[in-house]
Structure 1
Amino acid sequence: MTINSIFLMVLTGLQLGAIYALIALGLTLIFGTLGVVNFAHGALYLIAAYCAVFAAQSLGFGLAIVLVPIILFIFGIAMERGLIRFFYQRPHTDQILVTFGIAIVVEEVLKWMFGANNIPFALPSWGAGQVLFYGLGANVPAAIPGIRVPMPFLEGFAFFPAWRLLLIIVTAVTIFALFALLQFTRFGLVLRAGMRDPEMLRFLGVNVTIRFSILFGIGAMIAGIAGVFGGPVTQVSPTVGMALLVPSFLVVVIGGMGSMLGALVAALLLGMASSFTTGFAAAVGDPTAKMALTALQQIVVYLVAVVVLLIRPRGLFGKKGIFE
């Protein structure tokens, strides 16, 4: 296995981890602040992906990038005000049942409206193509199109899809913006105080309720960003939301319930594990061994979860008393 193939597997792992991270961030943000286990978060991703497809077709991809997260933000606030707020003090089992029910309803409605097959989600012209990474002394033909990025340790040159690289960058910017919002703004300060003692803030005249609604909307907006940029990668069909929810929820559990840092580390861990399993399977010459590794790629996420939780039952960064 060459250094080039390892480099591409790392990029693929980052791209897989980016999708898991965007969905898991919304999950852990809502749970860590509001104490709500939101199994409808995969449905929010699904709604965003469908909205992005039709917005891109009718208004252009640029406007879809702006409009879809705003639509999901509004949808998230309406969902929190209309239903979720009634379950804040209810057991987590009740929260799981009602949000899982929402996810099933959304999936079935979309099947009824658009069918069960994939809907094409074409990339914009500015997002298509490849990024070319080249090593020192590499002779790159001038006729090869695309962005060129020097990587001194590479041998020759390697290609990576531009849109998948953009997904990694957008995820990093989103994570930084969310961290800055929670750590360096008055809004974030009030939220963190409200997590500890919401009644005291109400006595001081702070409207905690509306801030919690906005926070739920922000979690939904992150799912909207994931739907816009992840839709062309994962494809758009009614089952994709549930397919992504399961590994994303495992990311939250592996990282530690309510821990944003844990969710990010776990997303990278699962993304890398899945990418390297696929890469090793592709490099194996024996067809039987290749088939076995390909099958292992489907369950590697769960194997990682088992190992981590056996060593750290509360997750990598989980704290005592959370979800116990």
Structure 2
Amino acid sequence: MEFNAFFLNFLTGLQLGAIYALIALGLTLIFGTLGVVNFAHGALYMIAAYAAVLISRSMGFTYAIFIVPALLFLVGLLMERGLIRWFYDRPHTDQILVTFGLAIVIEEALKWIFGANNIPFALPSWGSGQVLFYGLGATVPEAIPGLRIPMPGIEGFTFFPFWRLLLIGVSAIVVLGLFVLLQFTRFGLVVRAGMRDPQMVSHLGINVTQKFAIVFGLAAAIAGVAGVFGGPVTQVSPTVGLAYLVPSFLVVVIGGMGSLLGALVAAVLLGMASAFTTGFAALAVDPFMKGFLTALQQIVVYLVAVVVLLVRPRGLFGKKGVFE
């Protein structure tokens, strides 16, 4: 594989990993703080994508960037106060059944309202176009529009969609912001202390229940960001939530239940595995090998999960006793 193709597959892997990470971060944040396995988190992504379409059509995409995460934060609070808090002390199997049932209800409701087919999610004018990467010394025609970035190793020049590159950048900002919030703020300190000993924190006069509700809303808001920026890439349909829930939950398991760092590393790992398998399948000339790689790209995320869990049963950064 030449460097140009390798570089594009690498960017595609980062873009896939960015979507997985935004969804999986909410999943692992909820499990790490509340001990709840939330199988309705994919439905939150789906709600965000539909809301982003409606708001961008009526008010403009810029409004959707701010309104949708705030809306999903409120949805998360309502979900936590109305349903999830009653299952904190219940077995994980009960949590899975209830939240998965909720996800199915939401999916069917959206089918009834919007129909079962994909609905178009147009990119804003400022988000369309390509980013041009060019090698050192390459001559790029002035007539080619778009952002230009020099990249050593590139032969001539190559293109990558601007929106997908923006998605990678937004995901990095969200991950960094979440890390700063949890590590360097009073709220993060209380949340981390509550994860270890909620009774002791309550005895200090801190409303742990309120803080945990905010955590659930924050996880939903991250799904809102994923819906706004990932919706134009993944398409918007009633089945998109479940379609991305499964690999995102695998990201959580591979990274280690409750580990934010593990979720980030696993998301990039699965994104790269999917992108490079698809890339090799496109380049394959032999019909047998092409067919094999085409079939492999459908199951590669599960194969990665099997290999990692055989070597590290608790995941890459999992801790003893978590979800055992």
TM-score range for the pair, normalised by the shorter chain length: over 0.9
**AA at the equivalent of 2:46:** L
Structure-1 residue corresponding to 2:216:
216
Structure-1 residue corresponding to 2:175:
175
Take 1:178 and 1:241, find their aligned partners in 2: how far apart are those partners? 23
Structure-1 residue corresponding to 2:11:
11
SS in 2 for 1:158: strand
**AA at the equivalent of 1:159:** F
Give the paired residue count: 324
**AA at the equivalent of 1:21:** A
Take 2:292 and 2:4, find their aligned partners in 1: how far apart are those partners? 24
- 1:295 Cα deviation from its structure 2 partner: 1.1
SS in 2 for 1:126: helix
- 1:201 Cα deviation from its structure 2 partner: 1.3
Structure 2: gaps (5+ residues): none
Which range is displaced more, 117-126 or 198-207? 198-207
Take 2:147 and 2:2, find their aligned partners in 1: how far apart are those partners? 23
- 1:291 Cα deviation from its structure 2 partner: 1.9
Take 1:39 and 1:96, find their aligned partners in 2: how far apart are those partners? 6
**AA at the equivalent of 2:228:** V
Structure-1 residue corresponding to 2:97:
97
**AA at the equivalent of 1:25:** L
Residue 209 of structure 2 is aligned to residue 243 of structure 1: no
- 1:285 Cα deviation from its structure 2 partner: 1.1
Structure-1 residue corresponding to 2:267:
267
Take 1:260 and 1:201, find their aligned partners in 2: how far apart are those partners? 22
Structure-2 residue corresponding to 1:60:
60
Superposition pairs for residues 286-301 of structure 1, below 5 Å? 286-301=286-301
Q: What is the CA deviation profile of residues 166-223 of structure 1, one whole-angstrom value per residue up to 9, with x for unaligned ones?
A: 0000000000000000000000000011111111111111111111000000000000
Structure-2 residue corresponding to 1:277:
277
Take 1:73 and 1:266, find their aligned partners in 2: how far apart are those partners? 25
Structure 1: gaps (5+ residues): none
Take 1:288 and 1:49, find their aligned partners in 2: how far apart are those partners? 38
Structure-2 residue corresponding to 1:29:
29
Structure-2 residue corresponding to 1:148:
148
Structure-2 residue corresponding to 1:128:
128
Residue 162 of structure 2 is aligned to residue 162 of structure 1: yes
SS in 2 for 1:175: helix
Structure-1 residue corresponding to 2:72:
72
**AA at the equivalent of 1:305:** A
- 1:286 Cα deviation from its structure 2 partner: 1.9
Structure-2 residue corresponding to 1:231:
231
Take 1:22 and 1:287, find their aligned partners in 2: how far apart are those partners? 36
Take 2:179 and 2:68, find their aligned partners in 1: how far apart are those partners? 22
Structure-1 residue corresponding to 2:116:
116
SS in 2 for 1:315: coil
**AA at the equivalent of 2:321:** G
Take 1:99 and 1:110, find their aligned partners in 2: how far apart are those partners? 17
Q: What is the CA deviation profile of residues 254-286 of structure 1, one whole-angstrom value per residue up to 9, with x for unaligned ones?
A: 000000010011000000000000000011112
Structure-2 residue corresponding to 1:191:
191
- 1:232 Cα deviation from its structure 2 partner: 0.2
SS in 1 for 2:90: coil
Take 2:260 and 2:209, find their aligned partners in 1: how far apart are those partners? 22
- 1:153 Cα deviation from its structure 2 partner: 1.6
Take 1:148 and 1:45, find their aligned partners in 2: how far apart are those partners? 32
Take 1:319 and 1:121, find their aligned partners in 2: how far apart are those partners? 40
**AA at the equivalent of 1:160:** F
Take 1:249 and 1:204, find their aligned partners in 2: how far apart are those partners? 35
Take 2:7 and 2:173, find their aligned partners in 1: how far apart are those partners? 22
Flag as ranges the 4+ runs of structure 1 deviating above 6 A. Answer: none
What TM-score, normalized to structure 2?
A: 0.99
- 1:288 Cα deviation from its structure 2 partner: 3.0
- 1:320 Cα deviation from its structure 2 partner: 0.3
SS in 2 for 1:317: coil
SS in 1 for 2:132: strand
What TM-score, normalized to structure 1?
A: 0.99
SS in 1 for 2:125: coil
Q: What is the CA deviation profile of residues 78-130 of structure 1, one whole-angstrom value per residue up to 9, with x for unaligned ones?
A: 10001100000000000000000010000000001111000000000000000
